[in-house]
Structure 1
Amino acid sequence: MRMSIFTLLSLLVISAAAEKARFDKYRVHSVLPRNVQQVEALKGLELTNEASTSNDYYNFWTDIGLPNRYVDIMVPPHKRSEFNSFIEENNIEQEIKIENVQQLIDQEESMLRFRSNSMEWKNYHKLEEIYDFLDNLAKEYPNIVKPVVGGKTYEGRLIRGIEINFGKNQSKVLMEAGIHAREWIGPASTTWMINEILKGKLDPVFKRFNYLYFPIVNPDGYVYTWTQNRMWRKTRKPYMGNRGVACYGADPNRNWNFHWNEVGSSDDPCSETYAGPSAFSEVETRTLAEYLTSVSSEQKEDIYLAYHSYSQLIMYPWGYTEEPSRNDAIFEKVAKAAADALYKVHKQIFEVGSIATAIYPTSGTSIEWFYNKFNATIAFAYELRDTGKHGFLLPPENIIPCGEEQIASLKAILDEYEKLKN
């Protein structure tokens, strides 16, 4: 639906003047549908969110998938009675994971006030601080690190990253994080990883590969989580909802032009999984895809790693179908090796499987677009810590341990890749 200039300007003014969202007494319930009927009931509950523009709706922190998969739902206090009645009527198992979401946000903000402006990984960092970190790496390693711009955003920001070139004609590892704005642990732990790859005393295998790294591919959304709404997920482009209600953003990990909007996404602009009006409707996904197309090899040598949170999973294509991909046996073998290596660090268990079977069917994702277009040998999407105790509000003392786990996991992937190529 096309908006008038007046409506668009009104949306922008309202957004600029909005107070920071609060989530006092909002609970996160973890529910467990045991059968298809209960799954369908949850999908019906999610549909009641359509036409909601405030935070006074059911916010699904994890998507609805197959039976026997937990679904985490943030419930506003005024909907508590309604939600409990829904659970009882449908005989769905549940437990409360977080009693008061705002309390966790307040704890996080109290720690953020004491953070250093330079990267030290004892805390989370703003977009400009992460970009300064990339600039400093390029200055410190001018012969190895090159700043790159992978695209731009609706609000005019740049999607910045770096190339790390340890040698000519080496296989490339492409790493991206922060596609969903509220998933702060992705940018935090991967910047630590990149720092270790450059400065740490790691196994020589790390320098037998080159890297292309984007810490935050949804900068507008990430900034918004710092300034207005910690729970924001999508981009920030304004849309008119299906019922004439103004909403913001599309899900940038449902907007890629590969089996776009076939499954696991929504046509409603007010939905957290809105796929956009068309594939690559979001300038972020479109310009990043153009950049990757311009620099990526057509050979079957690339490794693609996408970092999300949360749930502790290592997943691989396909998501749009439960049919195995052409690399399914390789994916499973390498993912299990990566999960085993990760477990040895801090005893954290990561499940492995295809996206469709590990969590839920979904389409229009960055990982599947890249895997299909460039014949990547390995393409994994991580769901990082934790399993729901803190969810998206993971305390910053997890940053370095999470990074340590991912370094071990990456080493296993690189080792397995070299075995495949030898």
Structure 2
Amino acid sequence: MRFLALLPLFFLSVLAEKARFDNYRVYQVVPDNENQLEALVSLEDVGQVHDPVDVMVPPHKRDQFQEFLDTYKFRSNVKIENVQSLIDSETNKVGLRSNRMEWTNYHKLDEMYNWLDELAAQHPDKVKVVVGGKSYEGRPIKGIEITFGSNLTGVLLEAGIHAREWISPAGTSWMVNQMLNGKVDPVFKRFNYLYFPHLNPDGYVYSWEKNRLWRKTRTPYKLGKAVCFGADPNRNWDFHWNEIGSSDNPCSETYAGPKAFSEVESKTFSDYLKTVAEEKNLKVFVAYHSYSQLLLYPWGYTTKPSKDEALFNRVAKKAVDSLEAVHGKKFKYGNIATTIYPTSGTTLEWYYNEFNATLSYVYEMRDTGKHGFLIKKMDNLYN
């Protein structure tokens, strides 16, 4: 799901006080023809005809946006009446949480990292804490290695690359906990795992402390006399970098950075993976994002199918069929470029190309826009 925010250019990048979104609405807009699609593209890169786009509109822009909708005769509806009310509800619930790891509330970065240490202490024969890199502000990209046996295929589970997608580290941590406590299908133990819940730790901390809807890293970049913060860490990888679906504007949500691997996070994590991939027999890569209920695979930079399109499609169909059978939730699946929108410089495609991966997927977790990034935690754990 493409999420647009009609905000002043520097709002999301240079905000000093904690951001509030009182009476900001989220509209879901559906382009039914090429003319409408081109109008939306004038706001930012979007997907395809008939694909819904969520647009967050501040109160002082409502009339202007409604005129835009009327001019182009868009189908639309209000998905969220007041964004701040959802943030306040989430904040009030988080305030009641335990500092110990549990799965009814979200947890801060240090609590998540402490939980990884606890897993290693509880399962010393299976779990080892590892550091896969660092952030611009010096925080570690901390993870765990889970070993169920020797000579098994290695799986990378990656989460939290976009800071505001809190359900990504939350949902994957629940899954890992279930796995280690024997509450999942035994087939999961036919693999070994590397799990990293927070590929963007600076952004995640900032989303707690300053701006709940922050997406990018926290690297400062100059734009004239102003400074905008962060690049999109999922547009910064060195595979068809900045060719499509990204921006050269440092204040954009999809800023690709001044060059591939400009971000400390992407550079150090990619270097780490290159040092361990052969030893860990990494062949399967799964990244977790939110939201939209999608299961995606390469390519994103081109609509041409990859050499493994048939395999990717077959496995994805089985996965989404299983999700619907068990949980009653429909997931759309397909390659990135034709299923949602073209994009480049992503982890998914870099993994696939760099390591000749057998499988490489992105899950866009629940929901489809009712709460979006502000989904209640327990609503989304059971993907």
Using structure 2 for the length normalisation, give the TM-score: 0.94
- Please give the alpha-carbon distance, in whole angstroms, between the structure 1 residues aligned to 2:216 and 2:323: 29
- Please give the alpha-carbon distance, in whole angstroms, between the structure 1 residues aligned to 2:273 and 2:30: 39
- Please give the alpha-carbon distance, in whole angstroms, between the structure 1 residues aligned to 2:93 and 2:272: 36
Give the conservation status (yes or no) of the 8 Å contact 2:295–2:331: yes
Q: What's 1:237 paired with? A: 219
- Please give the alpha-carbon distance, in whole angstroms, between the structure 2 residues aligned to 1:280 and 1:293: 14
The offset of 1:321, in angstroms, is 0.4
Give the alignment partner of residue 381 of structure 2, picking from 400, 403, 420: 403
The offset of 1:244, in angstroms, is 4.1
The offset of 1:18, in angstroms, is 2.4
Q: What's 1:390 paired with? A: 371
Give the conservation status (yes or no) of the 8 Å contact 2:207–2:213: yes
- Please give the alpha-carbon distance, in whole angstroms, between the structure 1 residues aligned to 2:326 and 2:182: 17
The offset of 1:134, in angstroms, is 0.4
Q: What's 2:137 paired with? A: 155
SS at match of 2:244: coil
The offset of 1:298, in angstroms, is 8.7
Q: Are positions 1:326 and 2:307 aligned together? A: yes
The correspondence of residues 68-107 of structure 1 with structure 2, limited to 5 A, is: 68-107=50-89
Instruction: Give deviations 1:249-275, integer Å, cap 9, x for gaps.
Output: 000000000000000000000100000
Q: What's 2:47 paired with? A: 65
Q: What's 2:288 paired with? A: 307
User: Aligned-pair RMSD on alpha carbons?
Assistant: 1.7
- Please give the alpha-carbon distance, in whole angstroms, between the structure 2 residues aligned to 1:42 and 1:145: 47
Instruction: Give deviations 1:168-196, integer Å, cap 9, x for gaps.
Output: 11001100000000000000010000011
Instruction: Give deviations 1:9-52, integer Å, cap 9, x for gaps.
Output: xx9xx97x922100000000110112222222112123xxxxxx
Q: Are positions 1:27 and 2:25 aligned together? A: yes
- Please give the alpha-carbon distance, in whole angstroms, between the structure 2 residues aligned to 1:245 and 1:201: 51
Q: Which runs of 5+ in 2 are unaligned?
A: 1-9
Change in Cα spacing, 1:117 to 1:383, as seen in structure 2 (3 Å) is same
Give the alignment partner of residue 252 of structure 1, picking from 233, 248, 259: 233
Give the conservation status (yes or no) of the 8 Å contact 1:300–1:377: no
SS at match of 2:353: helix
Q: Are positions 1:346 and 2:324 aligned together? A: no
Q: Which runs of 5+ in 1 are unaligned?
A: 1-10, 47-62, 406-422
Give the ranges of 4+ consecutive aligned residues of structure 1 lying more than 4 Å apart after TM superposition. 298-301
Q: What's 2:342 paired with? A: 361
The offset of 1:397, in angstroms, is 2.3
Give the conservation status (yes or no) of the 8 Å contact 2:352–2:360: yes
- Please give the alpha-carbon distance, in whole angstroms, between the structure 2 residues aligned to 1:360 and 1:300: 31
Q: What's 1:370 paired with? A: 351
Q: Are positions 1:267 and 2:245 aligned together? A: no
Instruction: Give deviations 1:189-220, integer Å, cap 9, x for gaps.
Output: 10000011111333221111100000010000
- Please give the alpha-carbon distance, in whole angstroms, between the structure 2 residues aligned to 1:397 and 1:332: 29
Give the conservation status (yes or no) of the 8 Å contact 1:299–1:374: no
- Please give the alpha-carbon distance, in whole angstroms, between the structure 1 residues aligned to 2:279 and 2:332: 30
- Please give the alpha-carbon distance, in whole angstroms, between the structure 2 residues aligned to 1:299 and 1:35: 48
Q: What's 2:5 paired with? A: none
- Please give the alpha-carbon distance, in whole angstroms, between the structure 2 residues aligned to 1:134 and 1:216: 12
Percent same amino acid among aligned pairs?
A: 60
Q: Are positions 1:202 and 2:191 aligned together? A: no
- Please give the alpha-carbon distance, in whole angstroms, between the structure 2 residues aligned to 1:66 and 1:262: 18
SS at match of 1:306: strand
Q: What's 1:59 paired with? A: none
- Please give the alpha-carbon distance, in whole angstroms, between the structure 1 residues aligned to 2:381 and 2:352: 24
- Please give the alpha-carbon distance, in whole angstroms, between the structure 1 residues aligned to 2:225 and 2:297: 37
Q: Are positions 1:217 and 2:199 aligned together? A: yes
Q: What's 2:4 paired with? A: none
The offset of 1:301, in angstroms, is 6.0
The correspondence of residues 156-171 of structure 1 with structure 2, limited to 5 A, is: 156-171=138-153
The one-letter code sitting in structure 2 at the alignment partner of 1:41 is A
Q: What's 1:114 paired with? A: 96
Give the conservation status (yes or no) of the 8 Å contact 1:299–1:375: no
The one-letter code sitting in structure 2 at the alignment partner of 1:40 is E
- Please give the alpha-carbon distance, in whole angstroms, between the structure 2 residues aligned to 1:201 and 1:161: 21
The one-letter code sitting in structure 2 at the alignment partner of 1:364 is G
The one-letter code sitting in structure 2 at the alignment partner of 1:371 is Y
Instruction: Give deviations 1:349-390, integer Å, cap 9, x for gaps.
Output: 001010011110000000100000101111110100000000
Give the conservation status (yes or no) of the 8 Å contact 2:156–2:282: no
Using structure 1 for the length normalisation, give the TM-score: 0.86
Give the conservation status (yes or no) of the 8 Å contact 1:300–1:376: no
SS at match of 1:291: helix
Q: What's 1:40 paired with? A: 38
SS at match of 2:188: helix
The offset of 1:300, in angstroms, is 8.3
